[in-house]
Amino acid sequence: MDPTAIIDSYVADVVRHLPRRQRTDVALELRSLLDDELAGRAAEAGRPADSSLAMQLLTTFGAPRDVADRYRPAGFTIIRPSDAPRFTWIALGGVALIWAITLPAIMLGVIPVTGWDYGADTWWGRLTVWWLGPGIGALWWPGVVTTYALIGALVEHRRESRPKAWTPTPPRTIDRDLVSRPGTVVAIAAGVLGATVVIGLPWLASWAPWLPEPAITALTLDPDFLQWRAPWILPLWAADLVLYVIVLITGRWTVPTLRARSLLSLAGAGLLLWWCLAGPVFDSPATDTTARILLAALAALTATDAVLAFRRSKATSRNRSFPAMP
């Protein structure tokens, strides 16, 4: 194996733990240092630099995360700099998840406050109740995550143990076209379940009689939408199901399946935009406004997926037309 590729992979593993503004300078400095050190070891050994010498050098140099920490040394820290992005995603993602669950429940459910005569059932009244309750209350989650991180940092700081032995691993070749079969099965099952719920929405009062009457009324679909625009989603869903079953069987995305995914995503984006622009989706004006906003956002995401799938199919086609030289 080329020792330069091993060093490049190691440098990439180090700099990904650093802020983006530092990565270029650190990569240049670290690569130069490792190249000089490898050349010196090769001269001492009296042989050209090879993968064995490169692996020995990286073993003595240390794990990528530890090397990254050397470029920004710190004393006792609650959150390691390399863990900060993950911590941020967990903290803010938890808040967003709580909001996504509680906001629709209060906006579409029963009147959340009794004894409030003015504005209790208006959108701004419900929004006020939500913000003063679960909205602000969701901020307990970042506090829990911070407390957990603080306890973990204290335990690690007080722990007296030797550093674990680390050995470098060869650079990995990532095949982006391979799919996880268990993940694909879960995605297909989730898609079928979601489609079943949406298809059953017109009969919501029959299969979910325990729901409050305001929720059933708010989720009543417009008759014209149900008759003329909604049925077109069924062949699109069926085509998506066939596509993902093919991908599950083959175990990878190919140029034809990627282009089929691009076409289906483009058709889905067009259908969602048609739903938004051609008339009401729900009978309730408040629900219809919210639904149109969500459908427009979903159409934008679907169109983005169409573009990405098409670009990925072109990249896959080029890679197969020009295979790497042995």
For 29-62, how does the pLDDT look when each residue is reduced to its tens digit (9 = 90+)? 888 988 888 888 888 888 888 888 888 888 888 8
**How much is the pLDDT for 49?**
82
Q: Across residues 292-305, what is the average pLDDT?
A: 91
SS3 322: coil
Instruction: Calculate mean pLDDT across residues 288-313.
Output: 91
* Closest by CA position to 263, among listed 245, 239, 241, 247: 239
Q: What pLDDT was estimated at residue 40? A: 87
Please check the confidence at residue 261 and state whether its pLDDT lies above 90.
yes
Confidence (pTM): 0.49
Confidence band of 308 (pLDDT split at 50, 70, 90): very high
Nearest CA among 106, 97, 94 for reference residue 131: 106
Which of 39-43, 87-91, 180-184, 255-259 bottoms out in mean pLDDT, i.e. has the lowest? 180-184
**Chain center to CA of 201:** 28
Work out the pLDDT band at 251, boundaries 50, 70, 90: confident
Residue 190 CA, chain-centre distance (Å), reads 16
On the question of pLDDT at 224 being above 80, the answer is yes
- DSSP secondary structure letter of residue 133: I
In the chain, alpha helices (H) = 3-15, 20-45, 51-61, 64-70, 84-108, 123-130, 136-137, 140-158, 181-199, 204-207, 213-218, 223-224, 233-250, 255-277, 285-321
- Res. 274 pLDDT band, cuts 50 70 90: very high
In this prediction, residue 306 has a pLDDT band, given cuts at 50, 70 and 90, of very high
The residues facing 221 across adjacent strands are: 282
CA–CA–CA angle 323, 27, 85 (5° rounding): 95
pLDDT band for position 302 (cuts 50, 70, 90): very high
Query: Quick one: pLDDT at residue 323?
Result: 46
**Which is more confidently placed, 57 or 75?**
57
What is the predicted pLDDT for the residue at 202? 81
pLDDT at res. 300: 92
Average pLDDT of the chain to the nearest whole number:
82
Structure tokens given for 44: 């001492």
pLDDT of residue 270: 94
Span 171-213, pLDDT tens digits = 766 667 778 878 888 888 888 887 887 788 888 777 778 888 8
Reported as a single tens digit per residue, the pLDDT across 135-169 is: 888 888 888 888 888 887 777 766 655 566 667 77
Q: Is the predicted pLDDT of residue 321 greater than 60, yes or no?
A: no
Of 131, 133, 109, 132, nearest to 121 by C-alpha is 109
Contact 258, 309 (CB under 8 A): yes
Distance CA 222, CA 279 (A): 9
Q: Which amino acid is at 252?
A: R
- What is the mean predicted confidence (pLDDT) over 103-118? 65
Cα 5 from Cα 79, distance rounded (Å): 32
What's residue 246's pLDDT? 92
Within 10 Å of residue 228's Cβ, how many Cβ atoms? 12
Per DSSP, the residues of 92-120 read HHHHHHHHHHHHHHHHHSS-S-SS--SST
Per-residue pLDDT band for 325 (boundaries 50, 70, 90) equals: very low
Chain Cα centroid distance, residue 187: 14
Q: What is the pLDDT of residue 120?
A: 60
Rounded Cα–Cα distance for residues 127 and 123 (Å): 6
**Nearest alpha carbon to residue 295 among 315, 274, 316, 314:** 274
